[in-house]
Structure 1
Amino acid sequence: MAITAAGIGSGLDIESLVSQLVAAEGQPAINRLDTQEAKLQANLSAFGSLKSALSNFQTAVQSLQTDSSFQGRKASSSNNELFTASASTQATQGQYDIEIEQLAQAAKLTSNSGDFAEASDVVGTGTLTINFGSESFSLTIDESNNTLAGIRSAINNAEDNPGVTATIVSSDNGPRLVLSSDDLGSGNAITTVATDNDAGDGNDLARLNALENNVNSEAAKDAVIYVDGQKVTRNSNSFSDVIDGVTLSLAKAEVGTVEKLTISRDESATKSKINSFIKAYNALATTTGQLSSYNADTGAAGQLLGDSTLRSVQSQIRQAITSSVSGLDFGTLAEIGITTDENNNLVLDEEKLDQVLATDYASVSGLFSSETGVANKLNTILEGFVGTEGLLNTRTDGIESSIGRIDDQREQLAVRLESVEARYRAQFSAMDILVGQLQGIGDFLTQQLASLPAPNSINSN
């Protein structure tokens, strides 16, 4: 055992003794606090898992909660090569004849073949004006940009360019400047006017003026369609203001060909929402089952076994799932094909659901979305648990407060142990001094006794 300065009088390692005594006194309290915090943290994690599963289930429930949730519409084209369509809940079920006479097209001007040999060819200086629909902008052509490539960049970089893009296409007969409209429709035609400053240089004048003599390679056009024989013209190939709630996307014109647009109820979207509802419920059932489980063989128990909040979640949701809605031909989940198996999971009989959707869609909608429907009942229950003022937040806030109090107790314990350590150190220091003093007295007496004459020498005298 090493002897520290504090144990020099007694020969004891006082620092080690103090540390051991302080640890012996404090460790039971430390262990108790560690155990309490570990349990609280485990409960906090368990309630977090429960809240997550409940929130996911609530999202699925809310997708079935309103009447509009069941008003999905599906738009289908009899020929997707000509047009496709989509529909919102505002669309009315029905069928329309669609004929596409002409697609909307952007204007495109291309310089004449052979006017330029290279993109770096120099042209005359002057002014190039580009007319775009009802707007126009002008470019000053000078020595800084008087090449075909320079003019392309000047057009694209012009701050007042209303929507014209310039490119250079390198053909077998030399580069050609192409001006394209960014927007479709006949109102976005492009024309150009060149004014050359080099009036005395016919070559330069001709080369800049060549930009006036563009080939109208693609004329600006509006889209033209017929809906049930009624002509409709737009400057786009997407029509969203012709049939309420329907967007038509044109792909190809074919004069004289009439195709069908059909707007129908989107039963597949409804089935998808119901399947998401079942999946989220089963995930919740798995979570609650794990948290409340008990293994008789091993004694292992779920973290919230016996917890009143968890029991309330399970009972209230189970009651809502099995409840009936009056006034409907199909008033329970079981009657539309949703039943519970031996593991308390929901299972779907898709054939039965399809049949009910086809024959009594309103009952399926009412079963979930009516005021007393399953979705509204469940959402009210779930909000009571996971809402801002819900029971789970109350429980987790209480747990976090308890963890905070444990932190306070740790600080208080640390202060107390510092006091205990100081007390032990003072006691051992006093003992060390006393032992040192006694040791000194003992040494003195030993020396005095050693100096006395032996008994035989006294008798001989």
Structure 2
Amino acid sequence: MATVNQLDSYFVNLINSLMTIERQPLTRLEEQRSKLNVTVGVYQDARSKLLELQSAVYALQSNNYTSALQESRVISITNRPSGLTVLSATASSTAVVGSYQITDVVLAKAHRVRSDAVAYIDQALGYSTGTGYIVLGGAESRSAGLSTPLTDTVIGVSTAEIDSGKKELGRGTYTIQVRNDSTAGWQFRLVDSNGKAVSIRNGSSETDTTSDWQAIPTGGGSFNAGRGLVIQFGDGSAYQEGSAEVNYISQGARITVSESDSLLDIVARINAATYAENDGVIASIIDKQLVLSAASTGSAYALNASNVIDNGAGGTSGVLHQLGLLASGSTAFKHEAIQEASNATFKVNGLTVTRATNTGLSDVIAGVTLNLAADAQGNYATLNVERDLSSAKSAITTFIEKFNAVVSYLEQKTSVTSIDSTTFTRGALADDMAFSELRLRLLSMFMNAYSNASAYSRLSDLGLSLNDSLQAAITDQAKLEQALTNDLSGVQTFLNEVMQAFDVELGRFTGTRSATSYVNEAVSLLNSQMGDLNAEITRMNTYLSERELYLNDQYAQIQAQLINLTYMRQMWASIYGTVNQLI
């Protein structure tokens, strides 16, 4: 039999026609899969829009910690000399509304002292601390004393090494406050001289810290704060509420100097050293002179014989004396201070205030953190604290925008539109009544009356209504403004009720703050159907591939037979032609 290397075009076209017919079920399956893919996309898109509305709804519930329906404060600075900053400030929502005249400003300054000039700042000075060292920013060693104990409760203090990664307590007076909490029992915390709670070890952990109240160790005993201070508590048999006072002296940084060191080397070593909190020392070189500055402003952080210590006998000789920073044979500075340490003083509405720093002043005006600018010296300004309802208004506007977006989207996706008397177009969700019903429920909920403890029962009481196109809008801005300004707590009570209802309804579809999610369940079902379709499509593709191979083989055999018949016809024609010639 003849061998067929290539099918005749007649058979190729015939096979293609047959395969087109055979592929029709596959085409229908693929069209179903495409429709399912589109539907899944629409469901996911719908969930995304519902989630955006749900987020806007959640922001209007005042009983959640991210609520935007809160009154905040806005700061403005007026009545200051032209071109000057004078001060800046931030305010919490608890700040007392009002105007505060800041006058007679004297800025806090850091202590600054100098040495004699050296010949060359980058050449070896030939000075050495030998086996000793210079001490800067604190005492030779840390110490603590209990100036006011709390009988049978705080009975002593001592010192210990600093936990890794923590900064030593700065020198000063600290208060150990003790209370008997009705739930947590006996507790304590450490507070600095400015009344701010200090961050210390949280229990026995060397890594966790807290500035909050924490439990006194069971049975009393020692508590290591991890920052140099150790507190000794009584055995717990007769604890009492109150305060104990501690005087703490921080340990200074130890600086060594060798004969090969230049002034640049000494400055670098001073600036790289580790200091206790607020007790730092900053070194610089000006006109070939060593200049030491306290890192903190205020008279409490002045440099003196207690925190600038040379290593000679009695601290009266050594490298600092050779440099001419300290007077020969004395612990006093050789030269008059470049700048004396001083506190900031200013008046607030006529009341004189004194603080050690110029910035971060959070205990001057309640709820306000005040920062005096570098140009505040001798100047004045008025700090205005005003109510700010912009976040609440913005949250209501966002809710309306997202509500309208969802309602419009659902109307578009669930509608059936007539093109002509016989033709209609159906939205992607037209067959799912759940979304049509959701749209109607959302519109109804917007107009419903809600029972609550406020003076409002409908959103229209706040100036929010639906227009003729069923789009939400603020139709009475004055009514909303008046309610927010004069009765914010009532608005919060009412919107908590309304938005909780919205949140529950939306949660049924999104799954957020809900045990069920209609959309997720629907998508899961569609994905399952798609999995079945994919399996059927794979099976059909396999069948069609095999079917096409079979047809190719079958028609190849037919073509081979036809070729053989052609050869035979030609052979017999040749034979009979020869016989005829002989006759």
Per the normalisation by structure 1, the TM-score is: 0.77
Counterpart pick for 2:546 among 388, 405, 419: 419
> Are the equivalent residues in 1 in contact too, given 2:73–2:95 (CA < 8 A)?
no
Q: How does 1:299-314 map to 2 (within 5 A)?
A: 300-314=425-439
The answer to whether residue 492 in structure 2 is matched with residue 365 in structure 1 is: yes
Q: How does 1:38-437 map to 2 (within 5 A)?
A: 38-67=34-63, 69=67, 70-74=69-73, 81-82=86-87, 84-88=89-93, 91=94, 105=108, 107-112=110-115, 115-116=117-118, 119-127=121-129, 128-132=134-138, 133=171, 134-142=250-258, 146-158=261-273, 164=280, 166=282, 168=284, 174-183=287-296, 188-190=301-303, 191-195=307-311, 208-210=323-325, 213=334, 216-219=337-340, 237-240=359-362, 246-251=367-372, 266-293=388-415, 296-297=418-419, 300-326=425-451, 327-348=453-474, 349-369=476-496, 373-387=497-511, 389-437=516-564
Deviations 1:290-319 (A, max 9, x none): 323555458555322353132122122112
In the alignment, is the contact (CA less than 8 A) between 1:87 and 1:247 conserved in 2? yes
Whether the 8 Å contact between 1:19 and 1:421 is mirrored in structure 2 is yes
Q: Output one character per residue of 1:43-70: Cα deviation in whole Å (capped at 9) or x when no partner.
A: 2222222111111111111111234744
Q: CA RMSD in A?
A: 4.1
Selected match of 2:4 from 7, 12, 15: 7
CA contact (8 A) 1:194 1:209 kept: no
Considering only CA atoms, is the larger Rg found in Structure 1 or Structure 2?
1
The answer for unaligned runs of 5 or more in structure 1 is 197-201
Checking the alignment, whether the CA contact within 8 Å between 1:153 and 1:166 is kept in structure 2 is no
On the 8 A contact 2:62/2:70 being kept in 1, the answer is no
C-alpha deviation, 1:376, in angstroms: 0.7
> 1:360: Cα distance to partner?
3.5
Alpha-carbon distance in 1 for matches of 2:364, 2:12 = 91
- Secondary structure, counterpart of 2:256 in structure 1: strand
Query: For structure 1, which segment, 386-395 or 13-22, has the greater mean C-alpha deviation from structure 2 after superposition?
Result: 13-22
Residues 281, 292 of structure 2: 8 Å contact kept? yes
What letter is aligned with 1:357?
L
Contact 1:168-1:178 within 8 A present in 2 as well = yes
- Contact 1:58 1:379 survives alignment (8 Å): yes
- Between Structure 1 and Structure 2, the one with more helix by share is 1
Q: Check the 8 A contact 1:129/1:138 in 2, yes or no.
A: yes
Counterpart-to-counterpart distance in 1, 2:285 and 2:570: 113
User: What's the TM-score, normalizing by structure 2?
Assistant: 0.63
In structure 1, distance between residues paired with 2:561 and 2:37:
50
What is the deviation of 1:82? Answer: 4.8
Does the C-alpha gap of structure 1 residues 259 and 305 become closer, same or farther in structure 2, counting only changes over 3 Å? same
| Cα offset, 1:420, TM superposition | 0.6
Corresponding residue for 1:199? none
Q: Following the alignment from structure 1 to structure 2, what is the Cα–Cα distance between the partners of residues 277 and 307?
A: 25
In structure 1, give the amino acid aligned to 2:267. R
Partner secondary structure for residue 31 of structure 2? helix
Task: Provide the C-alpha distance between the structure 2 equivalents of 1:54 and 1:33, rounded to a whole number of angstroms.
Answer: 31
Is the 8 Å Cα contact of residues 292 and 302 (structure 1) preserved in structure 2?
yes
How far did residue 115 of structure 1 move? Answer: 0.9
Q: Tell me, yes or no, if the aligned pair for 1:237 and 1:250 is still in contact at 8 Å.
A: yes
Following the alignment from structure 1 to structure 2, what is the Cα–Cα distance between the partners of residues 180 and 410? 81
Q: Which moved more, 1:376-385 or 1:320-329?
A: 320-329
Q: Secondary structure at the match of 2:465?
A: strand
**Identity of aligned pairs, percent?**
20
- Give 2:43's aligned amino acid: F
CA contact (8 A) 2:109 2:344 kept: no
